[in-house]
A and B are shown apart, each in its own frame.
Chain A
Amino acid sequence: MRGVRRWGPGLLLVSPSIILIAVFVYGLIGWNARVSTSNWRTAVRDNHFVGLDVYKELRTDERWSLDLRHLFLFTITFIIGTLLIGSFLALLLDKGVKGEGFFRAIYLFPMAVSFIASGIVWRWLMNPAPGDRASGLNVVFDKAHLSFLSNQWWQHPDYGAVALAIPAIWALSGYVMALYLAGFRGVPEELREAARMDGASEWRVYRHVVFPHLRPVTLAALIILGHISIKVFDLIVAIGGKQIVTEVPAVYMWVLIYDSRDYAKGAAIATLLLVGISVLIVPYLVYTVRQERRA
Chain B
Amino acid sequence: MSTTTAAPPAVAPIDERTRRRRRVSATPLKYIVLLGFAVIVLTPVYVLLVTSVKGFSEIDPSHAWSLPQVFTIDAWHQAWTQLSPSLKNSFKLAIPATILSCILGSLNGFVLSKWRFPGADFVFAFFLFGMFIPYQAVMIPLTLLLDDIHFPAGIPRLVFAHVVYGIPITALIFRNYYSTIPNDLMEAARMDRAGMLRTYWYVILPLSAPAFVVAAIWQFTSIWNDFLFAVFLITDPSKWPVTVALNNTAGSLVTPFNLQMSAALLASLPTLIVYILAGRYFMRGLMAGALKG
Answer whether A and B touch in the complex at a CB cut-off of 8 Å: yes
Residues of A within 8 A of B (CB): 7-11, 13-14, 17-18, 20-22, 24-25, 27-29, 31-32, 35, 85, 89, 92-93, 97, 101, 103-122, 124-125, 129, 132-136, 139-140, 170, 174-175, 178-179, 181-182, 185, 201-202, 220, 224, 227, 230-231, 233-234, 237-238, 241, 250, 253-254, 257, 263, 266-267, 269-271, 273-274, 277, 281-282, 285-286, 288-289, 292-293
Bound complex: CA of A45 vs CA of B154, how far in Å? 23
Bound complex: CA of A181 vs CA of B232, how far in Å? 37
Q: Which of B112, B145, B247 contacts A238 (CB 8 A)?
A: B247
Bound complex: CA of A24 vs CA of B138, how far in Å? 8
Asked whether B211 is an interface residue with its Cβ less than 8 Å from the other chain, the reply is no
Q: Which of A85, A113, A136, A270 has most chain B Cβ within 10 Å?
A: A113
CB-defined contacts of B104 to chain A, threshold 8 Å? 17
CB-defined contacts of B145 to chain A, threshold 8 Å? 28, 31
Q: What's the minimum C-beta distance from B120 to chain A, rounded to whole angstroms?
A: 8
9 A-B pairs with CB atoms under 8 Å apart are: A21-B126, A92-B34, A112-B275, A116-B225, A134-B64, A178-B287, A250-B134, A266-B140, A274-B133
A116 touches B138 (CB 8 A): no
CB-defined contacts of A185 to chain B, threshold 8 Å? 287
Bound complex: CA of A106 vs CA of B43, how far in Å? 11
Q: What's the minimum C-beta distance from A28 to chain B, rounded to whole angstroms?
A: 4
Q: Which residue of B lies closest to A129 (CB)?
A: B61
Q: What's the minimum C-beta distance from B277 to chain A, rounded to whole angstroms?
A: 11
Bound complex: CA of A114 vs CA of B128, how far in Å? 23
Give the number of residue pairs across the A-B interface with Cβ within 8 Å. 257
Q: What's the minimum C-beta distance from B179 to chain A, rounded to whole angstroms?
A: 9
B227 touches A135 (CB 8 A): no
Task: Check A25/B138 contact, CB under 8 A, given A97-B30, A274-B133.
Answer: yes
Q: Which residue of A lies closest to B18 (CB)?
A: A201
Q: What's the minimum C-beta distance from B230 to chain A, rounded to whole angstroms?
A: 10
A10 touches B196 (CB 8 A): yes
Asked whether B47 is an interface residue with its Cβ less than 8 Å from the other chain, the reply is yes
- Tally of B interface residues using CB under 8 Å: 97
A112 touches B227 (CB 8 A): no
A271 touches B137 (CB 8 A): yes
Q: Which residue of A lies closest to B255 (CB)?
A: A120
B267 touches A14 (CB 8 A): no
Q: Which residue of A lies closest to B121 (CB)?
A: A289
Task: Check A7/B247 contact, CB under 8 A, given A18-B126, A103-B34, A113-B225.
Answer: no
CB-CB nearest 9 A-B residue pairs: A114-B225, A7-B117, A112-B275, A31-B141, A10-B115, A135-B61, A28-B138, A117-B264, A25-B130
Task: Check A285/B127 contact, CB under 8 A, given A112-B271, A117-B267.
Answer: no
CB-defined contacts of A263 to chain B, threshold 8 Å? 140
B141 touches A110 (CB 8 A): no
Q: What's the minimum C-beta distance from A21 to chain B, rounded to whole angstroms?
A: 5
CB-defined contacts of A89 to chain B, threshold 8 Å? 34, 37
B228 touches A13 (CB 8 A): no
CB-defined contacts of A112 to chain B, threshold 8 Å? 221, 268, 271-272, 274-275, 279
Bound complex: CA of A14 vs CA of B241, how far in Å? 30
Q: Which of A106, A107, A269 contacts B136 (CB 8 A)?
A: A269
Bound complex: CA of A274 vs CA of B132, how far in Å? 9
Bound complex: CA of A31 vs CA of B31, how far in Å? 54
B283 touches A24 (CB 8 A): no
Asked whether B92 is an interface residue with its Cβ less than 8 Å from the other chain, the reply is no
Q: Which of A107, A135, A170, A237 contacts B44 (CB 8 A)?
A: A170
B34 touches A32 (CB 8 A): no
Task: Check A35/B141 contact, CB under 8 A, given A139-B61, A231-B134, A274-B133.
Answer: yes
Q: Which residue of A lies closest to B266 (CB)?
A: A117
A105 touches B167 (CB 8 A): no
B142 touches A139 (CB 8 A): no
Asked whether B108 is an interface residue with its Cβ less than 8 Å from the other chain, the reply is yes
B137 touches A114 (CB 8 A): no
Q: Which of B40, B65, B133 has most chain A Cβ within 10 Å?
A: B133
Asked whether B203 is an interface residue with its Cβ less than 8 Å from the other chain, the reply is no
Q: Which of A93, A117, A234, A277 contacts B132 (CB 8 A)?
A: A277
Bound complex: CA of A11 vs CA of B196, how far in Å? 11
Bound complex: CA of A107 vs CA of B15, how far in Å? 35
A106 touches B42 (CB 8 A): yes
B292 touches A220 (CB 8 A): yes
CB-defined contacts of B51 to chain A, threshold 8 Å? 124
Chain B, 187-228, contact with A by CB distance < 8 Å: what is the 0/1 string? 000000001110000000000000000000000010011111
Bound complex: CA of A271 vs CA of B260, how far in Å? 35
CB-defined contacts of A238 to chain B, threshold 8 Å? 247, 251
Q: Which of A121, A178, A286 contacts B261 (CB 8 A)?
A: A121
